[in-house]
Amino acid sequence: MAKEAPVIALIVDDSAGAARTISNCYTNGTIATPRNTMDITGADKTSMEKLLLLGDFQATANGVFNDASNLSHAVFKTIPSTSVTRTYSYAASGQTLAVEALLTDYSLARGADGSLTWTVPAELQSGSDPTWS
């Protein structure tokens, strides 16, 4: 039997720090938790030797414009005018990744078909390792 796709929850703080669930506006996106590496290969080696360094977090959320109270437009419209850290939480199948993030853009695009969509990138701000719970 095929397993159903997990339900996704995207919860992002508005500029006042209130958590807002915007899953019904969110259509797709990416989340990455890369680690930096450092080359420590000595002259006596014939293959690379590396150390794991600092962790990071990057995300891009995409969705459909919704200007209803406490939904995507209300949450993101202050990105150009406020410099606040926001809790960015992504949950799927009972697993949650919550980080303190900077939202760096709120791009709107109108399609030829009349659709109005948004894209919001996020980057780690807190210096804490992104950890799934």
- Residue ranges covered by each domain of the chain: 8-124
Q: What is the predicted pLDDT for the residue at 1?
A: 65
User: Average pLDDT, stretch 57-77?
Assistant: 96
User: Angle at Cα 99 formed by Cα 69 and Cα 56, nearest 5°?
Assistant: 135
Say if residues 55 and 129 touch (Cβ distance below 8 Å): yes
Whole-number average pLDDT of the chain: 94
| Cα 126 to Cα 49, 59, 97, distances in angstroms | 29, 15, 14
Spatial separation of the C-alpha atoms in residues 36 and 90, rounded to whole Å: 22
The pLDDT of 102-106, averaged and rounded, is 97
Instruction: Please tell me the predicted confidence (pLDDT) of residue 114.
Output: 96
